[in-house]
Structure 1
């Protein structure tokens, strides 16, 4: 098996173990057992457990972002574009709650364990970059400009979505969560104006 294929299988095995048993129980031994490989294969594919966790985080985060980009269709109306983006994120979240819960566990684990800080940093860099590019794309297609800096708006959206995700993991209240997404879209529109020609 090629090294890239072996690494990909180990990453998917790690995702399965973490989603099922939690991040703390995703030891290298548990991961290689899940993949049907040896510890030697793990050390051949990754320089450290921190590198593996960073790649798991990137794999999951980029997977979510790719799904959203695939579902997102920019409209001439900015509200429709924003809601498309938010609903696409939410659809992916509700379809895979275990993976998203694991993402939060990974963030906390990374922040609490020295040497793993880059795992959490990279995770949020990807999300913030994705929200920034979607906000810019939506603005271009609707012929508007944002009156607040796009990185600040992206952070606001990310923080709100994070909070909604965590609340939903606790109470599974989809109706109120969807209503909150509508409020978020309406609030974002307070920071939009027609683009100067």
Structure 2
């Protein structure tokens, strides 16, 4: 098996273990047992457990972003694109809440365990970069520009979605959550204007 395939299988095994049992219980031994591999395979594929956790974040983030990236078609109305992308993301969230819960557990685990602090930092760098790239894509395809810096808007969108996801994991109130997404789209679009010819 190619090293890249082995690494991908171990990452998927790690995601399954974390979604089922929690981040703290996703030991290297639990992950290789889930994947049907040896500890040597883990150490061959990852520099450390912290490295593996960073790659889990990248894997999950890319999965979520890929689901919404294609909704920003050229010349499409910006409001439709933003709303559809937020609701598509939300649909994926509700379909896989265990995967999304990983990110919250991972943040707290990384901040509380010496040697893992950089995992939390990288996690949010990945999230912010992903939201920033979607905002840039939306602007390009709709022929608009943002009146606030994209890194600030990305942080705003991430903060709302992060909080909304956490509240939903507790109360499972889909109707109120989707109403918040509509409000987020409306507020975000107050900071968009057509490009000058």
Compute the TM-score of the two structures, normalised by the length of structure 1: 0.92
| CA gap 1:147/1:17 in 2 versus in 1, 3 angstroms | same
Gaps of 5+ in 2: none
Secondary structure in 1 matching 2:68: helix
**Runs of 4+, deviation exceeding 3 Å:** 70-76
- The structural deviation recorded for 1:83 is 0.8
> Counterparts in 2 of 1:164-179, with a 5 A limit?
164-179=164-179
Instruction: Report what 1:159 is aligned to.
Output: 159
- The structural deviation recorded for 1:74 is 5.2
Over the residues paired in the alignment, what is the CA RMSD in angstroms?
1.6
| CA gap 1:181/1:75 in 2 versus in 1, 3 angstroms | farther
Conservation of the 8 A alpha-carbon contact between 1:75 and 1:81: no
- The structural deviation recorded for 1:16 is 0.8
Per-residue Cα deviation, 1:56-113 (whole angstroms, up to 9, x for no partner): 1211111111222144445542211211221121111111100000121112111222
1 CA distance for matches of 2:133 and 2:8? Answer: 27
| CA gap 1:74/1:87 in 2 versus in 1, 3 angstroms | farther
> Counterparts in 2 of 1:9-158, with a 5 A limit?
9-73=9-73, 76-158=76-158
1 CA distance for matches of 2:143 and 2:3? Answer: 47
1 CA distance for matches of 2:35 and 2:68? Answer: 29
Per-residue Cα deviation, 1:31-78 (whole angstroms, up to 9, x for no partner): 111111222222222221111111112111111112221444455422
- Higher mean alpha-carbon deviation, 116-125 vs 78-87, is at 116-125
Conservation of the 8 A alpha-carbon contact between 1:168 and 1:177: yes
Per-residue Cα deviation, 1:151-178 (whole angstroms, up to 9, x for no partner): 1111101100101100110011110000
2 CA distance for matches of 1:140 and 1:31? Answer: 41
- The structural deviation recorded for 1:179 is 0.4
Compute the TM-score of the two structures, normalised by the length of structure 2: 0.92
2 CA distance for matches of 1:139 and 1:87? Answer: 18
